[in-house]
Structure 1
Amino acid sequence: MNELEKMLAGEWYEPGDPQLDTARRQCQRLLARFNTPGTDPAECREVLGELLGSVGEGAQLMPTLRADYGFNIHLGRDVFINYDLVALDCAKISIGDGALFGPRCQLLTPVHPVDDVAFRRSGAERAEPIVLEENVWLGGGVIVNPGVRIGAGSVIGSGSVVTRDIPARVFAAGSPARVVRELRTGAES
């Protein structure tokens, strides 16, 4: 199994591997085009189509975007992502239909060894996927950690750090983010 296959399987891998380095450089070339001020919106959409794993109809992503690979990021329909997203996509990042992001959010999939200092110094890492279900809203500056799933319709307060799964239809906030209350539905909201 090569290092890319290990990374995609969620196993420990060597991020300095030449194949992964080449993929990151390709991503950076595309990001340079996307992030250039004044780039035509049609060209930005074309670049996102080439860069990301999938882009749903009506999805909008404002520059700048920072990513490791791009191909592990999947946007649903009518997603809106405000400025300065950091999406470290060593594992799959799935963003459901209708999701909204405030500026400067971070989606971080890499995991580094915590207990074993020597192993950590080796540079090895692994990654865990992030899933944001449909109609999730992340306030500005939200950080989502590896392996987190945020349930449909949930809202995460600005500046929160999401370290574990959040159920559907709740408002969560804080560091670490905790459920503050359930959200009302339909005409009640």
Structure 2
Amino acid sequence: MNEIEKMRSSKLADMEKPEVQESFIHAKKLVAQMRGMSTYDEGFREILEKLVPGIPATSVICPPFHCDHGHGIRLGEHVFINANCTFLDGAYITIGTHTLVGPNVQIYTSQHPMDYVARRESKEYAYPVTIGEDCWIGGGAIICPGVTIGDRCIIGAGSVVTKDIPAGSIAVGNPAKVIKKTD
């Protein structure tokens, strides 16, 4: 199992290994090409499709956008990701159809060891983040590693989601708490 496969499997992976570094560099070069472009500029979509393989034609990621790899991002149809989002996609980040992601949203899958000595090494875990269909993630929200947000949820602007949110919920705050069920 190589280090990217370990990352995707939530196993301790070495970020200094060549395959991980090549993946980082590939993504950083594509992200740099997108910087200063608009979603309407010629060539933008081609770069985006290299960064996020398999992105549906109906889904959009607005620049500027930041990610670790790109190939760990899986989007459904009609997903809209607003400007200045950061997706640390060591593990998979999966976003369902018709979901809206506000500006400055941060989605983290990376998790460092709790032991401070182990944290000195170049190794980390990654836990997948899943966001369901028909969700709205408010601007500036932070989604932490391993979180699942169910279908039809609204996450309030500026919220920090540290635990799973059940389908049909409105959650706000730091840490985010469900304040209302919508179904």
Q: TM-score, normalised by structure 2?
A: 0.95
Compare 22-31 and 51-60 and name the one that shifted more.
51-60
> Residue 187 of structure 1 corresponds to which residue in structure 2?
none
> Residue 179 of structure 2 corresponds to which residue in structure 1?
180
Residue type of the partner of 1:182? K
> Residue 105 of structure 1 corresponds to which residue in structure 2?
105
Superposition deviation, residue 44 in structure 1 = 1.6
Moved over 4 A (4+): none
Across the two proteins, how many residue pairs are aligned to each other? 183
Compare 88-97 and 15-24 and name the one that shifted more.
15-24
CA distance in 2, matches of 1:75, 1:43: 20
Residue type of the partner of 1:143? I
- Equivalent residue runs for 1:150-189 within 5 Å: 150-183=149-182
Gaps of 5+ in 1: 185-189
Question: Any idea what the Cα deviations from partners look like across 1:58-109, whole Å, max 9, x if unmatched?
Answer: 1111101100100000111111111101000000000110000111000100
CA distance in 2, matches of 1:22, 1:156: 34
Residue type of the partner of 1:130? V
Superposition deviation, residue 54 in structure 1 = 2.4
> Residue 68 of structure 1 corresponds to which residue in structure 2?
68
SS in 1 for 2:43: helix
Superposition deviation, residue 56 in structure 1 = 1.9
Question: Any idea what the Cα deviations from partners look like across 1:6-45, whole Å, max 9, x if unmatched?
Answer: 1122100111112211111011111111223357534221
CA distance in 1, matches of 2:2, 2:96: 30
Question: Any idea what the Cα deviations from partners look like across 1:133-188, whole Å, max 9, x if unmatched?
Answer: 1011000000000011100010000000000100111100000000000115xxxx
Superposition deviation, residue 2 in structure 1 = 2.3
Residue type of the partner of 2:123? A
Percent identity over paired residues: 38
Residue type of the partner of 1:18? P
Compare 42-51 and 83-92 and name the one that shifted more.
42-51
- 8 Å CA contact retained: 1:76, 1:97: yes
CA distance in 2, matches of 1:177, 1:100: 18
Gaps of 5+ in 2: none
RMSD: 1.4
